[in-house]
Structure 1
């Protein structure tokens, strides 16, 4: 333990032991964490002042006396980005000495909305196929706000930060709907809505700065004076690194990169083990690992060739100058198309066909183009003259890829395991791939991969180890359930575990087969039901197995079981949800409408959790 000088301790208003604890606490924290901690301490002091005996005050306030406001920050997050942005903003507001509370949407009591005076909402748009949906933790709030029970809100000032993905046609649709609905209910927009793409911070950071300034304007005049901490000094008592994060990833060594499908499989699925030794990183089952990938050199060369530009050309964007090869390899998306880039290409090349896709009547064809083509395809199909600066400005910044963690630290300690399927296909005789899966699949043992932990609070094992769990994870969607089973074994949980797994063929695609069979033998899996879709003439999927076992599934759920789904959002997740509703109709005697409401209730209660992509 680092010791504090006696001379310093002698003038502190707390004991030596608590002073030393405080000194230890701040070690390893970055600036946002320290600012949050400072705000937390200031808030604790303010609460003590509020709790202290006060002189009696009149019950009625004098005419014109303002009721003290606070800022409420409400967030809805599917993958963790909205939560991260909201928490950072709350820490900055609190560090400024302003009253603030942060609430996840499913924990927000909708009856409070009519009483709110100052509200910021940070919410993502979750896409399932062609439809956009609110995050699972926001469905109740969204339905209330957009429904008939929503109150008029003439006293509310608000701002909305919308998060989305511009590779989908309805970009930030949920945030836009909430923003427009609040205005329609009479609320006053004090900040223009900002729409953030997957490079969230590019838009979120300036929006948050404006939001903080607006909070100071609205709230600061009402606050008692708080001593400034500007003159305080936090001594670096021992050298240490800041916490690893999205902005400062940890370089994890590849320990194992093993193909786990048979030679006859049409897929290439890898089990990858990474070392976290000495990093101090911790995760829980259900969390994701963020990976910052590097574009394949051959793709970078193809793009440079079609652009007729040299990789050594300097390109400047956002005040930063790098070689074009560096921009394309590490800073820009090359495998994901977005609507803004199509618009830029249409304008630069004067392509009427692309302009037509950007019109409302062309939305279906635009969606098809975004889903089936990559950058190299449209650059070849619709030529245009690009400078190095212009192409860098037009392309979306490269975003980290998120992978469900396939291990429990209770078993693997300072390691993290992933289950990664290589996304690869041919187009016109030329290979195409997904940037993250290609990068990880090609990573040799001993290589270093930049990573960070992304917490997923909505995808957690039950707090009660006696609760039963039902896990539906076809393909690589089984990854988090490997972590779940490992954790349940380590905890000696008494609840039952039921896994539904699916893939094309039993002999070549039964991921972690030996582990599942051993877990079943030991009782760690109460039931293991599989669906190998191509092993018989009629295709069988996990949703069919659910319906086959519908009576027992219903009994488990009626007994308090938690239901988890991980995997493909476009089709599988919807099929499983429809199967769940069908089970409620067939075995619970519910009407289709009541069954749909029952499923929504499970979502709101957190007993139905999804990690879909």
Structure 2
């Protein structure tokens, strides 16, 4: 229906505005707007509030709901925590009383009293909760979890669709809260690596559904300015508006004859106004290989200059440019293959995605890219525009910062290991690492932003001892830690466990660490080079050798940091710590596990694993 001056009480200017706005509203937005207008009209007569309770305008019925909202986050790298903080700020702006907490800090025995619960949770590794979500996750799935018939909740799940158990932690929370009797304020939303738009939509929906519960004249207007955009307003550059950083240095840290190549990258931050702390990361938006892009276009018979959309705003770019810079083409995910099958009549592809063939599909995805998909299941009769619409946006690659901003103003250093391997008859290359190793010259620019990780930080007291365990590129944040402690004159003891393949060719930042040992910034350093001995020796073996002293450091209140591979190294180191607590502390395994859990809750046991 078109509004007109003749059939409505609006002016010509108002009619023009309404005719532009109303057709763009979703059903949920229309419902919310209707409730909001009703609340305004009845606020002086029929909508009565008491200190903590007000009437909810709902699509189903009117019920009593508390003004108090609890926002819990489970976050490994800080994404979920940042979104939870954004949501909390928005809720406070609407007049709600908000409790924002990490799941590890939340007192589970108070859950029964919570009436409005909003959860933002990432999934770590192969479907496991992040470290700071484990206590609450285990409580909620235990027999001690209370019935929650009075609870209203909603879940935002973050994950990576290239993993089999995509957003599993969020899904588990959503399912369990429903099983315990909770009712959803808004449906769960699952976010992939490019989570900005999906997260914004979830935040808007939650705010819209809760906003009708109170009189809110101070925050009138559309709710589209989520915290993601708010960050961009506060800082000139961000995840959604990256900074073009000039490359100041790009050298190979490995010696001649090494089987590995590790790049030390120095980027200029001049003019960015970026602030970072040791433990934070840099996100880099890389460029795909030109050879892979051209092979893909040729195989599909597309035109390199055909215009395709690169975002929801409808911005268009030539296909070749879009595939180089905007879309991920080196990783296959289950959702992508399932959607691609709908555009194909290939019987083998239809069979691959059919119910019951989950194992076969998982095996196919391993180590293959988009070129494999179009080659294996040709012919294709689909336009570039339709096919590209299925692809994920190019996700940023996160790298631990290897420098201190106090020691190196307007610079940031990164440690990037080149990824190269053979799979399914073709050589494969890490998108960002290979670009840095082979195509990135001094003076060129990289699109980047600073990603803050509040879950991997130095102790606030400079005299606190620290134990750092980081083989290979996992040592990067510890270089930043030690630069920071040197610059600030920290008095606490520091112990580094470092490992790699060969002493002569693979000891990253060897001169830096040896100088810090000499100067007393690094109290002690134990190294393990696995290929230099007949029997492979890793960092966990060095830890066991020094278990007595290591246990004494733990008893003195030392913070323990682990950075690197989760599947093997971090898992082995965790078990080694348990063994040390059993052997040196005389604890049962159950008590040793509880000791580490308590360290996590005290922020004394922190992991940056991938």
Q: Would the TM-score normalized by the shorter structure come out above 0.5?
A: yes
> How many residues get paired?
538
- Return closer, same or farther for 1:124/1:354 CA change in 2, 3 Å cut-off: farther
- Report the equivalent of 2:519: 522
- Report the equivalent of 1:72: 70
The alignment's C-alpha RMSD in Å is: 2.4
Q: Distance in 1 between matches of 2:73 and 2:352?
A: 33
Deviation at 1:162, TM superposition (A): 0.7
Q: Distance in 1 between matches of 2:539 and 2:420?
A: 24
- Report the equivalent of 1:440: 436
Q: How do residues 419-430 of structure 1 correspond to structure 2 at under 5 angstroms? A: 419-427=415-423, 430=426
TM-score using structure 2 length: 0.84
Q: Determine which of 249, 255, 261 is the counterpart of 1:268.
A: 261
- Return closer, same or farther for 1:255/1:148 CA change in 2, 3 Å cut-off: same
Q: Determine which of 410, 414, 432 is the counterpart of 1:418.
A: 414
Describe the SS at the equivalent of 1:155. Answer: coil
- Report the equivalent of 2:600: 603
Q: Determine which of 96, 106, 109 is the counterpart of 1:108.
A: 106
Is the 2:105–2:601 Cα contact (8 Å) retained in structure 1?
A: no
Q: Determine which of 312, 337, 340 is the counterpart of 2:332.
A: 337
Per-residue CA deviations over 1:86-115 (Å, capped at 9, x if unaligned) read: 222223333334433322222222222111
- Return closer, same or farther for 1:490/1:439 CA change in 2, 3 Å cut-off: same
- Return closer, same or farther for 1:286/1:192 CA change in 2, 3 Å cut-off: same
Is the counterpart of residue 243 in structure 1 residue 236 in structure 2? yes
Per-residue CA deviations over 1:450-477 (Å, capped at 9, x if unaligned) read: 1111111110011111111110111100
Q: Distance in 2 between matches of 1:604 and 1:471?
A: 18
Is the 1:161–1:193 Cα contact (8 Å) retained in structure 2?
A: yes
Q: Determine which of 176, 191, 195 is the counterpart of 1:181.
A: 176
Deviation at 1:360, TM superposition (A): 7.4
Is the 1:98–1:216 Cα contact (8 Å) retained in structure 2?
A: no
- Return closer, same or farther for 1:180/1:555 CA change in 2, 3 Å cut-off: same
Deviation at 1:390, TM superposition (A): 2.1
Deviation at 1:171, TM superposition (A): 0.8
- Report the equivalent of 1:119: 117
Q: Distance in 2 between matches of 1:510 and 1:96?
A: 54
Q: Distance in 2 between matches of 1:199 and 1:137?
A: 23
Is the counterpart of residue 545 in structure 1 residue 539 in structure 2? no
- Return closer, same or farther for 1:65/1:403 CA change in 2, 3 Å cut-off: closer
Per-residue CA deviations over 1:17-54 (Å, capped at 9, x if unaligned) read: xxxxxxxxxxxxxxxxxxxxxxxxxxxxxxxxxxxxxx
Per-residue CA deviations over 1:521-540 (Å, capped at 9, x if unaligned) read: 11111111111111111111
- Return closer, same or farther for 1:392/1:500 CA change in 2, 3 Å cut-off: same
Per-residue CA deviations over 1:111-166 (Å, capped at 9, x if unaligned) read: 22111111111111001xxx421111111111111112111111110111111111
Is the counterpart of residue 312 in structure 1 residue 305 in structure 2? yes
Per-residue CA deviations over 1:501-533 (Å, capped at 9, x if unaligned) read: 111111110001111111111111111111111
Describe the SS at the equivalent of 2:407. Answer: helix
Is the counterpart of residue 577 in structure 1 residue 571 in structure 2? no
Is the counterpart of residue 452 in structure 1 residue 449 in structure 2? yes
- Report the equivalent of 2:287: 294
Deviation at 1:228, TM superposition (A): 6.5
Deviation at 1:578, TM superposition (A): 1.1
Is the counterpart of residue 394 in structure 1 residue 423 in structure 2? no
Is the 2:66–2:115 Cα contact (8 Å) retained in structure 1?
A: no
* Structure 1 segments unaligned to the other structure (5+ residues): 1-56, 231-239
- Report the equivalent of 1:147: 142
TM-score using structure 1 length: 0.83
- Return closer, same or farther for 1:69/1:308 CA change in 2, 3 Å cut-off: same
Q: Distance in 2 between matches of 1:566 and 1:405?
A: 12
- Report the equivalent of 1:323: 318
Q: How do residues 30-49 of structure 1 correspond to structure 2 at under 5 angstroms? A: none
Q: Determine which of 131, 135, 148 is the counterpart of 1:136.
A: 131
- Report the equivalent of 1:509: 506
- Report the equivalent of 1:586: 583
Q: Determine which of 174, 195, 206 is the counterpart of 1:200.
A: 195
Q: Distance in 1 between matches of 2:559 and 2:316?
A: 51
Is the 1:169–1:363 Cα contact (8 Å) retained in structure 2?
A: no
Per-residue CA deviations over 1:353-412 (Å, capped at 9, x if unaligned) read: 555655676444444433322222232222241321222121111111111000001111
- Return closer, same or farther for 1:384/1:106 CA change in 2, 3 Å cut-off: farther
- Report the equivalent of 2:561: 564
